[in-house]
Amino acid sequence: MTDPSYPAPGGGAPAQQRLWSRFLRRPLGVTALAVFLLIVLAGLFAPLLAPYDPNLVDFSLTQAPPSAEHLMGGDSAGRDIFSRLLYGARTTVYGAAVACLVGVLLGVPAGVAAGYFGGLTDRICSSISDGVQSVPGMIVLLIVAAGTGADFTVLMMTVGAFMAPGYYRISRSRALAVRKEPYVDAARVAGLTHTRVLHAHMVRAVQAPVVIQSALTAGVAMGMQTGLQFLGIGTASTPDWGQMMNDGFRTMGTHPLILLWPSAALGLTIAALAFMGSTLADLISVRTEPVSRRRKRAVAPDVEVVPATGRLEHPVEDSALRIENLRVTYRTPHGDKQVVRGVCLDVSPGEVLGIVGESGSGKSQTVFSALDLLPAEGHTSADGIWIGGEPVGDLPRAKRHALLGTRVGYVPQEPMSNLDPCYTIGHQLTEPLRSVHRLTRTQAGERARSILRRVGIDDPDRVLASYPHQVSGGMAQRVLIAGAVAGKPQLLVADEPTTALDVTVQAEVLELLRELQEEYGMALVIVTHNFGVVADICDRVAVMRHGRVVETGAVEEIFAKPADPYTAELIRASLDDTESRDDLDAAWNKAGRTVRT
Amino acid sequence: MFRFTIRRLMSGVALLLIVTSATFFLAHLAIGDPTAGLLGNSATPAQRAALHEKLGLDRPLFVQFWDWFSHALRGDFGTSWRNFQPVSDQIALRVPVTLSVVIAATVLAAALGLAVGVATGLRPGGALARVLKLASVVLFALPGFWVSLVLVMLFAVRLQWFPAVGYVPLTQSASGWLSSITLPAVALALSAIVMIAEQLRNGFVEVTKQDYVRTLRARGLSTRRVTLHVLRNASPAALTVLAVMFVGLLGGAIVVEIIFNLPGIGQLTQSASQIGDIPILLGLTAVTVVFVVLVNFLLDLVLGWINPKVRDI
């Protein structure tokens, strides 16, 4: 059935088995499953289990309280409620099954086709799905019920049709995601037909979400079904819960138990389905819940402690930033992970320090924890952190944050993802000036305009009125630099400020940072993986690897005589990179010219 | 912006035409001969034939459709087949009741969903977040009419805090109006509250991870101000759910209105469908779709205001 040479991830028997055994280890999931199975079995074997004929009328039983012979008593017509409840389970489960089946049959193929083929197929299917969602379903159901003489199966098929958009949406998004996976392309290139690819990969990809959606849909379908029956739609000869609830509703004031039994049965069934679905969804998405702050404080990270690395150059009182023996630990579901393992570094006013290392070396984490900008899962400990010569490591959160935007400025890496897409650039620049620096609206606007001019933006008014998506990456980075220096900080921290930019813009941005640093007399800490940047702008450099400082020194010394082989390797890689880049550009230009002429 | 508005309105009108036309044919095909339902079982064949002719049911279906459609285009939805009163009058009489309940439910869902969503979004691992997660699983699945029954049993029959049934118009008594719609609105809103809270919480967790939130904090903005930025970015998904819920609430209102004995469009829908009063059913469909279109249009406007990037696409 499936081609063994193109295995789809997450599919296959072993994965399925693992999911099952994981499901069975969740008490909530198991309980829900057991309850649901019990109800299904009760419905299936109702003729064997029911002590009485559900339609047998015994006038002495009318509105009778529960007794040994009649576990739940009798309804207002004198019928045994327990027997009717069992038969009602049968109707309920059957109806939900019909609705789910129709929903799957209509929604899943359309969703997979729309996601896989895209284009016109997608547009047509999606607008049909949207249309169905805006149809007043209850009115249509009532019309169908009136016309078909309340044929229950047809009614539940209609319910299923209204459930199809739910199946459509999840199948479409799964198919879209899988479509982009390389193994699907591989299968296509290998000559598999669309049908084979759809069969081999799509079916497996949508399986789990469809099962989860079905748990949800079954619950909703049961609700609609019982609601319709409550309104009096259904066959009088087959007992169902909605009918029973209606009966109970009418005598609610005097005999609440008659209403209670079927309501409890329906509530229990729907809750069981919902918990089954959510347990499955949890297992499949494996969403990691963030650690709560309280727990974070209570437990100190349990990781091995290694000696501190790095060298401090300046006395505390002469430093703009000083970090002593910094450790950063992340809490993950698989235990604690230490990403910075004992880092010491410092920078003095007017000095430019580079922190260099490959990605994952802990350089960004070092500066984030120094500024107290780590995400909630991150945990910092240090022998001491000083900003402007003052210890800040033990300051309360609010006081620590008061340093940001006033004494410390931060320039991020990705210009486009660091501007809030919902606000104009003007708002984002003036908001801190007004709320942190207490400038008036006009003063803040004036300051924003002048600082934008300073960072090389010629038409500040247009940029201030623009939204982030309306400006280029280079422009956005200038805006971010403007935002970082607008508060006239004494320390500027730039995290890979040029990495995301075009080569031509990189040099300009570095030049701008250098100028601003000299003009304001700021200390500048620049995080980068590129020794070219270090050579351009830095006075001193700390080389990091695996969360430790391998080497610290003046830039010329390090370039001339790298003490650590890793440093030498990084320098070589950076230089190679620039060289090959130039070669590449030259070759490309030449090729372009040849083609054009 | 102008073109955006026009485009949305056009697609709304198209949807209205398609859905009402489809309902016309569905109703006629499903109900077949409505005279049986209209006159009851005791009617003689002669009486039924007379009504058949009076209603013009002997004409070809397409002729009947065009007759209805051309009048509907001019805002004339005809008269009820039962009492020959204008459809629009009967619906206009009942719309305020349903809208009272549905709008109250929507406001409740938006307000409580916002509060719970923000509270759990700020502390995603906290106790409230865990309670919300469990509650959302069950409350989403439980049908509104089931919740209504429980509420009636508890608050109207047991505790007698609210009237069990009946509707008091706002023009008659504001407090009476409020207490007559409270239970139905809560019953309808419960699942919407948890859905919106859940969406908002997920949005919060997602947006808090975004780079620009860190940058905003790095500029020294207070937690309150950063939270406002996060909220604005996290709200589109929750608002979309709110709009979808509104459509669901209009449908769910039908059973809830019957339980609480509210003279809204739900009761009218039920009685019209039972006797086969097709003009009323078509009018109800049109009104509902108009609401759906309006709500979706409002949603688009609000989404465009929240994130201007949406407008430019």
The residue in chain B having the minimum alpha-carbon distance to the alpha carbon of residue A278 is B137
Q: What average pLDDT does range B34-48 have in this prediction?
A: 75
The whole-number pLDDT of residue A492 equals 92
For B307, other C-beta atoms within 10 Å of its C-beta total 19
The third-level CATH classification (topology) of the domain covering A303-407+523-597 is Rossmann fold (3.40.50)
Residue of A28, A100, A139 best to disrupt the B interface, most CBs of B under 10 A? A139
CA distance B108 to A375: 33
Query: What is the rounded CA–CA span in Å between residue B285 and residue B265?
Result: 10
Least reliable range by pLDDT among A265-279, A582-596, B46-60: A582-596
Distance from CA of A61 to the nearest CA of B (A): 23
Q: Determine whether the interchain pair B309/A263 forms a contact, defined as Cβ–Cβ distance below 8 Å.
A: no
Q: Is the Cβ–Cβ distance between A50 and A86 less than 8 Å?
A: yes
Q: What is the 3-state secondary structure (H, E, C) of A425-490?
A: HHHHHHHHHHHCCCCCHHHHHHHHHHHHHHCCCCCHHHHHHCCHHHCCHHHHHHHHHHHHHCCCCC
List the single range of A399-413, A491-505, A530-544, B132-146 with lowest mean pLDDT: B132-146
Say whether A136 and B285 touch across the interface (CB within 8 A).
Answer: yes
Residue of A nearest to B138 (CA): A271
Would you say A451 and A482 are in contact if contact means Cβ atoms under 8 Å apart?
Answer: yes
Most confident of A146-150, A352-356, B64-68: A352-356
- With 0-12 / 13-18 / 19 or more C-beta atoms within 10 angstroms meaning exposed / middle / buried, residue B101 is buried
pLDDT at A524: 93
Residue B82: name the closest of B34, B27, B30 by CA.
B34
The tokens describing B220, both together, are: 């020294």
Q: Which residues touch B264 (CB under 8 Å, ≥6 apart)?
A: B94, B95, B97, B98, B101, B167, B253, B257
Inter-chain residue contact B141 with A148, CB threshold 8 Å: no
In this structure, what CATH number is given to the domain that contains residue B157?
1.10.3720.10
- Least Cα separation, residue A46 to chain B (angstroms): 24
- Helix (H) / strand (E) element for A41: namely helix A27-44
> Cβ contact (<8 Å) for A139 and B152?
no
* Least Cα separation, residue B65 to chain A (angstroms): 17
Closest CA to A157 of A170, A171, A140, A172: A140
| CA A444 – CA A427 distance, rounded (Å) | 10
CB contact under 8 A, A291 and B125: yes
Kindly determine whether residue A289 and residue B125, on different chains, have CB atoms separated by under 8 Å: yes
Q: Is residue B225 within 8 Å of residue A431, measured between CB atoms?
A: yes
Q: Identify the weakest region by mean pLDDT among A592-596, B119-123, B257-261, B302-306.
A: A592-596
A201-205, A251-255, A334-338, A446-450: which has the highest mean pLDDT? A446-450
What are the sequence ranges of the domains in chain A?
26-283, 303-407+523-597
Write down the architecture of domain A26-283 according to CATH: Orthogonal Bundle (1.10)
Mean pLDDT of A576-589: 54
Mean pLDDT, residues A55-74 taken together: 78
The answer to whether the Cβ–Cβ distance between B218 and A267 falls below 8 Å is no
∠ Cα A528 A530 A533 (to 5°): 80
Domain of residue B111: give its range: 94-312
Does residue B313 carry a pLDDT above 80?
no
In eight-state DSSP terms, residue A301 is -
Is B82 a member of any domain?
Answer: no
- Contact: B251, A136; criterion CB under 8 Å: yes
Phi and psi torsions of A320, nearest 5°: -90, -35
Q: Residue B297: is it exposed, middle or buried by C-beta count within 10 angstroms (0-12/13-18/19+)?
A: middle
pLDDT at position A129: 85
- B42 residue type, one letter: S
ipTM of the complex: 0.78
Look up residue A423 and give its DSSP letter.
S
At A589, is the pLDDT very low, low, confident or very high (cuts 50, 70, 90)? low
- Identity of the residue in A267, A373, A404 whose CB atom sits nearest the CB atom of B142: A267
Neighbours of A137 (CB within 10 A): 23
The residue type of A386 is: W
* A201-210, A406-415, B80-89: least confidently modelled range: A201-210
Q: What integer is the mean pLDDT of A468-479?
A: 88
Asked if A374 contacts A365 with a C-beta cutoff of 8 angstroms, the reply is yes
Which residues, in sequence order, are CB contacts of A325 under 8 Å at separation 6+? A308, A342, A343, A344, A382, A383, A384
Q: CA of A536, closest CA in chain B: separation in Å?
A: 26
List residues bridging with A378 in a β-sheet.
A330
pLDDT of residue A291: 42
Q: Which residue of A has its CA nearest to B159?
A: A253
Instruction: Using an 8 Å CB-CB cutoff, list chain A residues near B198.
Output: none
Angle at B303 between CA B299 and CA B305, to 5 degrees: 120
Cα A514 to Cα A507: distance, rounded to the nearest angstrom: 11
Cα–Cα distance for residue pair B307/A470, rounded to 1 Å: 13
Q: Do A420 and B137 touch (CB under 8 A)?
A: no
3-class DSSP state of A375: coil
Query: How wide is the angle at C-alpha A489 spanned by C-alphas A488 and A490, nearest 5°?
Result: 125
Residues whose CB is less than 8 angstroms from the CB of residue A252 and which lie 6 or more positions away in sequence, other chains included? A259, B152, B153, B157
For residue B19, being part of any structural domain is answered with no
A540-545 and A352-356: which strand pairing? Answer: parallel
Nearest CA in chain B to A374: B214
Contacts of B222 in chain A (CB under 8 A): 435
Check: CB of residue B58 under 8 Å from CB of residue B52: yes
**DSSP E strands, A257-350:** 321-332, 335-347
Provide, as residue numbers in chain B, all residues whose Cβ is less than 8 Å from the Cβ of A148: 30
Q: Report pLDDT for A525.
A: 93
In a domain, residue B84? The reply is no
Q: Do B306 and A422 touch (CB under 8 A)?
A: yes
Tens-digit pLDDT profile for residues A406-418: 889 999 888 888 9
More confident residue, B50 or A353: A353
Looking at the structure of chain B, the number of domains it has is 1
Minimal C-alpha gap between B215 and chain A (Å): 6
- What per-residue confidence (pLDDT) applies to A187? 74
Average pLDDT over residues A162-177: 86
> How far is B220 from A403, CA to CA, in rounded Å?
7
- At A5, the amino acid letter reads S
Report the residue of chain A nearest B145, measured CA to CA.
A227
pLDDT in tens, A520-567: 889 999 999 888 888 888 999 999 998 899 999 998 888 888 888 888
Report which of B227, B261, B219, B262 is spatially closest to residue B95, judged by C-alpha positions.
B262
Q: Is the pLDDT of residue B136 over 80?
A: no
Contact A410 B218 (CB under 8 A): yes
Q: Residue A15 has what pLDDT?
A: 59
Q: Looking at the complex, does the CB of residue A154 fall below 8 Å from at least one CB of chain B? A: no
Determine the length of chain A: 597
Decide the pairing of beta strands A548-554 and A540-545.
antiparallel
Residue A244 has pLDDT above 70, yes or no: yes
Average pLDDT over residues A246-271: 84
pLDDT at A296: 43
- Tell me the average pLDDT of chain A: 81
Euclidean distance between CA atoms B180 and A285, whole angstroms: 43
Residue B14: predicted pLDDT: 87
- The minimum CA-CA distance between A249 and chain B, rounded to whole Å, is 8
Is A259–B153 a contact, with Cβ atoms under 8 angstroms apart? Answer: yes
Determine the distance in angstroms separating the CA of B43 from the nearest CA of chain A, rounded to an integer. 19
Instruction: State the burial class of residue B95 (Cβ atoms within 10 Å of its Cβ: 0-12, 13-18, 19+).
Output: middle
Angle at A413 between CA A411 and CA A416, to 5 degrees: 100
Task: Give me the residues paired with residue A385 across strands.
Answer: A323
Tell me, what's the pLDDT at B296?
83
Put simply, whether A434 touches B (Cβ < 8 Å) is: no
Say what the pLDDT of residue A295 is. 43
pLDDT tens digits for A355-400?
998 888 888 899 898 888 888 788 888 888 999 888 888 888 888 8
Q: What's the pLDDT tens digit per position in A284-338?
A: 765 444 444 444 444 454 556 677 888 888 888 888 999 999 999 888 777 788 8
Residues of chain A with pLDDT > 90: what percent? 16
Map tokens 């999840």 to a residue: A170
pLDDT > 50? residue A597 = no
Q: Does A43 touch chain B (CB under 8 A)?
A: no
Residue from the list B219, B232, B252 with its beta carbon closest to the beta carbon of A422: B232
Helix (H, G, I), strand (E, B) or coil at A319: coil
User: Measured between CA atoms, how close is B276 to chain A, in angstroms?
Assistant: 7
Tokens of B20: 């009402």
Inside any domain, residue B133 = yes
Q: From chain B, pick out residues whose CB is under 8 angstroms from the CB of A436.
A: 219-221
Q: What is the pLDDT of residue B311?
A: 64
Beta strands A352-356 and A523-528: pairing type? parallel
Q: What is the pLDDT of residue A585?
A: 56
Per-residue pLDDT tens digits for A98-149:
999 999 999 988 988 888 888 888 888 888 888 887 777 778 888 888 766 6
Q: Which of A253, A409, A431 sits opposite B225 (nearest CB)?
A: A431
* Helix, coil or strand: residue B256: helix
A residues 342-401 closer than 8 Å to B (CB): 368, 371, 373, 375, 401
Give the three-state DSSP class for A221: helix
The rounded distance, in Å, linking the Cα atoms of A302 and A483 is: 38
CB pairs under 8 A between A and B: 225
Place of tokens 């009063």: B277
What would the mean pLDDT of A560-580 be, rounded to a whole number?
Answer: 77
pLDDT at A427: 92
Under DSSP, the state recorded for A355 is E
DSSP assignment of A531-593 equals: HHHHHHH-SEEEEEETTEEEEEEEHHHHHH--SSHHHHHHHHHHHHHHHHHHHHHHHHHHHHH
Q: In chain B, which residue ranges form alpha helices assigned H by DSSP? A: 2-31, 35-39, 45-54, 61-73, 87-122, 127-141, 144-151, 174-208, 211-218, 223-259, 265-275, 278-306, 308-312
Instruction: Give me the residues paired with residue A531 across strands.
Output: none
Element (H, E) at B168: none
Stretch A449-458: mean pLDDT: 89
In A, which residues are within 8 Å of B152 by CB distance?
252
User: Who's near A114: CB < 8 A, 6+ residues apart?
Assistant: A121, A122, A125, A126, A168, A172, A175
